[in-house]
Amino acid sequence: MKRFAVVLLTVLMVGPVLFVTAVEAGAPIRIGALYPITGSLALLGEESWRGAEIARQFRNQKGGVAGRQIEYVRADVPDVNAAKSEAERLISRESMKLLIGTYSSSLSLAASEVSARQNVTYFELGGISDQITERGYKTIFRTCPKAQLFSKSQMSFIRDWVAPQIKKKPEEVRVSLVHEDSAYGSSIARNLEAEAKAGSVPLVSVIPYDSKAIDLSSVILRLKNDKPDVVVGVSYANDAILIGRQAKELGLDIRAFIGTGGGHSLSGFAEALGAGSDGVFNVDFTQYEVNTKFTPGLPEFVEAYKKTFNSGPRSGHSLANFMGATALFDILEKTGGDMDAAKFRTAALAYEAKLGTTATGWGVKFGENGQNTLAETFLTEWQNKRLVTVWPEGAAVAKPNLVRPFSK
């Protein structure tokens, strides 16, 4: 009887442990993936997801993380309400311990707010609004550069390159800002105003608009009135094209246009505007026409992308998500696949990759607030309908060329 009790006790104590570890070892690692795949943000949302998907395939082919395959549980988040409710659903109903996403900053802010309150890690791969990592949460990480960096490099490009080209002192260059008025555009706008002040470049006008507007001629007419030398634009996909078309229709005469990622990086932008896209500069994540010595793994990514999706990548968003998801899997490897928020944070803060060692050329080193301090932006230019990297020189494949934008 006594022996039976011992056996029973042993079974009761060890059994569940054995059972659980057996399941855990074989069971896939499930990660929630929130992207807008319908609605006005669908194009780049889908593009972003594709990058994360290829990172997953690569890792699974190599045996996964800690011997377990990786699975995404996808959620479509076309708007802020959906982002909130889907994050809620993934955490409570699907018991997700880790979420990735999101492309759009507004969506990321909403979804990560939900996850942070439930102590679930949110790993942002593409939203750039500064706020995302500035709310004091310990469970939010971001691999891509934040908005501040975009404005910084736009301003230094205007001061260091555009000003001498148009034979003006930096203090004399007239700059206008045209931005869509959601979290993405407003975030860039605030930064650019601060940077302009700090760099004493005069910002002659700031023009917000609704990205769903059906007519933006008033934006162009205001620009014509303000007569800027340089226009900085912050747009999503359709509004970027609409502004380009109407600038051409109304004969807007400016020396340079600098976009801020988003719609100005899309291949569709050049397709819609044709030669009119020539000369449009753009500050963004790493693009494909870049010095690949600086971005190991990029050609392999493009090849896998083409094989999986039967076309080339449509913007750098997929590459940024690929890079971020790969870093995520590396960190999970360190925790042995454990997605507990505290353990993940320790592993993430300890994780390091040098500049020029990832597919985007970025390094990885998370600050206390979860922001990757080694993420960089590059300056590209549309030349003959190709988006080539022109700045900084280490990553450049062509020289910047001053052409009047939207003139052809």
Partner 1 sequence: MSDLFLQVVVSGLLIGGVYALLSIGLTMIFGVVRIINFAHGEIMMLAMYLTFWLHTAYGIDPYLSLLVVAPVIFALGVAIQRLVIQPILEAPPLMKVFATVGLYIALQNLALMLFTADFRTIQTPYASASFRVGAISVSEPRLYAFLCAILLIVVLWAFLKFTLVGKALRAVAENRTVAALMGIKVTRLYLLAFGVGAAITGVAGTLLLPFSYVFPTIGSIYTLVAFVIVVLGGMGNMLGAFFGGLFIGLVESFSGTYISPAIKEAAYFVIFILVLLVRPQGLFGMGKGSEEVGLK
Asked if 263 and 185 count as a contact pair (C-beta separation under 8 A), the reply is no
Contact status: 221 vs partner 1 (CB under 8 A): yes
Contact status: 343 vs partner 1 (CB under 8 A): no
Give 162 or 242: the residue with its C-beta nearer to partner 1. 242
Contact status: 6 vs partner 1 (CB under 8 A): no
CA angle 259, 374, 334 (to 5 degrees): 130
Q: Of these, 24, 71, 113, 181, which contacts partner 1 (CB under 8 A)?
A: 181
C-alpha distances (whole Å) from 66 to each of 24, 26, 253, 332 are 11, 10, 58, 8
Q: Of these, 210, 300, 303, 340, which contacts partner 1 (CB under 8 A)?
A: 210
User: Pairing between strand 230-234 and 256-260?
Assistant: parallel
- The length of the chain, given as a count of residues: 408
The neighbour count for residue 207, using CB atoms within 10 Å, is: 19
CA nearest neighbour of 112 among 103, 102, 104, 122: 122
CB of 33 to partner 1, least distance (A): 19
Q: Of these, 74, 89, 190, 248, which contacts partner 1 (CB under 8 A)?
A: 248
Asked if 195 and 168 count as a contact pair (C-beta separation under 8 A), the reply is no
Residues sharing a CB contact under 8 Å with residue 337, sequence separation 6 or more, in sequence order: 29, 65, 66, 68
Contact status: 43 vs partner 1 (CB under 8 A): yes
Contact status: 100 vs partner 1 (CB under 8 A): no
Q: Of these, 170, 276, 316, 400, which contacts partner 1 (CB under 8 A)?
A: 276
Q: Of these, 85, 131, 156, 238, which contacts partner 1 (CB under 8 A)?
A: 238
CB of 89 to partner 1, least distance (A): 20
Q: Of these, 138, 245, 343, 386, which contacts partner 1 (CB under 8 A)?
A: 245
**What is the spatial distance between Cα 227 and Cα 172, in angstroms, rounded to a whole number?**
13
Asked if 112 and 140 count as a contact pair (C-beta separation under 8 A), the reply is yes
CB of 246 to partner 1, least distance (A): 8
CA dihedral 152, 153, 156, 161 (to 10 degrees): -160
State the number of CA atoms in the 13 A half-sphere of 175 facing the CB. 31
Give 74 or 138: the residue with its C-beta nearer to partner 1. 74
Choose one: 150-158, 255-263, 266-274, 297-305; the region binding partner 1 (CB under 8 A): 266-274
Q: Of these, 138, 168, 224, 365, which contacts partner 1 (CB under 8 A)?
A: 224
- Which residue type does 203 have? L
Q: With the C-alpha atoms ordered 307, 313, 314, 318, is the resulting torsion angle positive or negative?
A: positive
Choose one: 4-12, 32-40, 359-367, 383-391; the region binding partner 1 (CB under 8 A): 32-40
CB of 209 to partner 1, least distance (A): 4
Asked if 50 and 309 count as a contact pair (C-beta separation under 8 A), the reply is yes
Give 71 or 181: the residue with its C-beta nearer to partner 1. 181
Contact status: 225 vs partner 1 (CB under 8 A): yes
Q: Of these, 173, 216, 254, 325, which contacts partner 1 (CB under 8 A)?
A: 216
Q: List interacting residues with partner 1 (CB under 8 A).
A: 38-40, 42-43, 78, 181, 207-210, 212-219, 221-222, 224-225, 237-238, 241, 244-246, 248-251, 271-273, 276
